[in-house]
Structure 1
Amino acid sequence: MTISNNLWCCAVPVATVWTSTSSPREIDRLAIENPVYLIKWLEVLSYKERLDLCTTNRIQTQLLYGEEVIVDEIVDDWAKIIAIHQPSKKDRRGYPGWVPIRQLKKRRHENYQKHVIVTVDKVQLWSEDGAPLMVLPFNTILPLQHECSQFYHVDTPHGTACLNKKGVAITRSSTVGNPTPMEQAVVKGTAFLDLPYLWGGMSSYGYDCSGFTYNMAKASGRILPRDAGDQKNAGQPIDPERQDEWRIGDLLFFADNFGKDPVRHVGFYFGEGKMIHSPQTGKTVEIITLANTQFEVELCGVNRYQ
């Protein structure tokens, strides 16, 4: 069946967006259920199995709880979706892929003036009668209904729920955090040092390189394109030969063949010749000095997002 302009939303803490309905392996079963078991899934993946997510192009991106998508088509137990807040050259409407229909719910059409965004690694979502519902990762955004002394009462795909005021903030946007200078994106990124890389990762359970830059910018009030190549094609180009003109929070882009091939990697300029980034499978978010590394010779661009 085909569905036009049908808005749904993510109904699990993190939903993985797969390249096709046949992309998940048997070992990925924990990632496509509802409830989803992200930590258990990631714990059972060997290095080879994690790398296979990339080399065979199994994963496209991920969604956070409450994030809106367009459902274009439903085939058996799967929905062909467009992640409308993740700009991509793959589709003018957003980032495409497939999600199990059990991890989505139809979106209720209500307008809210304020929203609540998770500003720490993870927070507990509670029912109104005090029962624990699920754990929400960094950057989850939910509409604010009202507040009391201890809690924000938010609208979720499962109805009204509560977030403790610690670890969250009010934002007027339904898609980004409160606007701050891009230097703050770098500061926010340091909270995730040592977080293991995850191909397609878009949550505080694991980021890929452009997922890391996208999410730290999102937390700082900006929506970037989802992929590294698209991120390079946006923003204000800065001369890569003039490191003295780079600013903390600028995006640094890298490519094979001494920077001549298509963009393959992105990170934030950390200042003083350093970069913070999520490198590759088997490694973790780190701060490195660029001098005398492969990145020094593979640098192909520097972009600034005001």
Structure 2
Amino acid sequence: MTTLHSIWYCSVTVASVWTKLESVRDIDQSAIVNPVQLMKWLEALHYEERLDLCKGNRIQTQLLFGEPVIVEEIQGEWAKVISILQPTHKDDRGYPGWVPLVQLCKYQPSKSKGNIIVNVDKTQLWLEDGTPQIILTFNTILPVLADTKQHYIVDTPIGIGKILKQGAIKYTGHQVQSMVKAVQFGLNYLDLPYIWGGMSSYGYDCSGFTYNMAKACGIHIPRDAGDQATYGMAISKDNKDEWQVGDLLFFADEKGTKPVRHVGFYYGDGQMLHSPQTGKTVELRKLEGTIFVEELCAVRRYGSGVKIT
């Protein structure tokens, strides 16, 4: 075991953060290699294997390409990490877990003119010479070095590359848009299958969905539903006239008396946009006449001028 406290970066399209070293099953091997084989992994997971990611507490969250982590220690081919961009009550520094060492790398980002953020479902990353490299997912953030008529030139953990301008925008993280825009981003993922721990446009869990749509708007919220329900601005759950499009709706078992178990966006007109659960897909649904009416336990508002920390 090697003890460290240095910054490393995700070097694959999406890296899952595992709860323990023994959390990985034989069927998960495609998810822990470099290059990661996300589609092969997801297509191999039938309902029971997908459900076991949750029931077996196997995955904590995911990292996107270029996302920084603190590497606390290395055990063999694995690194114990803290995902510093994902706030959680589990650790003041960020989300903890284990990532295959092969999916991380050390590098020193170049001094840049800011960042770009991928604002489409997926886009291609090329090397400077035009060699195709990996696919970048929605919300991937990279330092931008320059731009041409068609491309952004970006610094990445695997070298200098370029992406089409139509697939990304300049991003400071401080250009806060409203949560109405977050809902609009979310509509792009209707019918996307739920995946426990999911944080990418290959699949989201409920709070990964709300976290990432907010992130795309420059609004930084906690990673998990339980934490999201304790920040932001409290809105009356009993007075629907106070609800606004983009407010987060929280739900709990036993008529809302248990810990928060689910979150979704209020869409307006008594509807919710959310990523429901294993076996289902991102959907819009009416709240009236569903169990969600009884389970509603909190409503929170995030956005410009709303304190979240």
Do the structures match in fold with TM over 0.5? yes
1:217 is matched with which residue? 214
Q: CA deviation at 1:273?
A: 0.5
Q: How does 1:90-239 map to 2 (within 5 A)?
A: 90-173=90-173, 178-239=175-236
**CA distance in structure 2 between the partners assigned to 1:107 and 1:83 by the alignment:** 17
> Which string of whole-angstrom CA distances, capped at 9 and with x for unpartnered residues, describes residues 65-124 of structure 1?
000000000000000000000000000000000000000011315443411111010000
Partner of 2:166, secondary structure, is: coil
Distance 2:179 2:277 in 1: 23
Alignment of 1:1-306 (within 5 A): 1-4=2-5, 6-173=6-173, 178-306=175-303
The whole-number CA distance in structure 1 between the counterparts of 2:110 and 2:168 is: 22
Q: Is the 8 A contact 1:12 1:65 kept in 2?
A: yes
- Once the two structures are superposed, what CA deviation does each residue of 1:114-152 show, in whole Å capped at 9, x if it has no partner? 111110100000111111101111000100000111110
What are the superposed Cα offsets for residues 211-241 of structure 1, whole Å, 9 maximum, x if unpaired? 0000000001111100000000110000000
- What amino acid sits opposite 1:54 in the alignment? C
Q: Retained in 2: the 8 A contact 1:126–1:162?
A: yes
User: How far, CA to CA, are the matches of 1:75 and 1:21 in structure 2?
Assistant: 9
Q: CA contact under 8 A between 1:68 and 1:107: conserved in structure 2?
A: no
Which residues of structure 1 form unaligned runs of 5+?
A: none
- Asked whether the 8 Å contact 1:114–1:170 carries over to 2, the reply is yes
State the number of aligned residues.
302
Following the alignment from structure 1 to structure 2, what is the Cα–Cα distance between the partners of residues 199 and 213?
A: 14
Of all paired residues, the percent bearing the same amino acid is 58
Match of 1:294, as an amino acid? I
- Deviation of 1:19 after TM superposition, in Å, equals 0.2
State the distance in 2 between where 1:184 and 1:249 align.
Answer: 8
* TM-score, length of structure 2 as denominator length: 0.96
The verdict on how the C-alpha distance between 1:110 and 1:127 changes in structure 2, with shifts beyond 3 A counting, is closer
CA distance in 2, matches of 1:203, 1:224: 16
- Cα deviation code 1:245-265 (max 9, x no counterpart): 100000000000000000000
Write the letter of the residue equivalent to 1:3: L
Structure 1 length-normalised TM: 0.97
CA distance in 2, matches of 1:110, 1:20: 33
Residue equivalent to 2:307: none
CA distance in 1, matches of 2:172, 2:126: 22
How many Å separate the matches in 2 of 1:198 and 1:241?
A: 31
Distance in 2, Cα, partners of 1:112 & 1:287: 40
Query: Which amino acid counterpart does residue 80 of structure 1 have in structure 2?
Result: K
For 1:279, what is the secondary structure of its paired residue? coil
Q: Which residue type is aligned with residue 264 of structure 2?
A: G
Gaps of 5+ in 2: 304-309
In the alignment, the residues of structure 2 paired with residue 172 and residue 268 of structure 1 have an alpha-carbon distance, to the nearest angstrom, of: 24
Equivalent pair of 1:113/1:172 in contact (CA under 8 Å) = no
**What SS class does the counterpart of residue 240 from structure 1 fall into?**
coil
Alpha-carbon distance between aligned partners in 2 of 1:34 and 1:210, rounded to the nearest angstrom: 27
**Runs of 4+ residues deviating >4 angstroms:** none
- Summarize deviations over 1:2-29 as a string: whole Å, max 9, x none: 112x000100000000001110100000
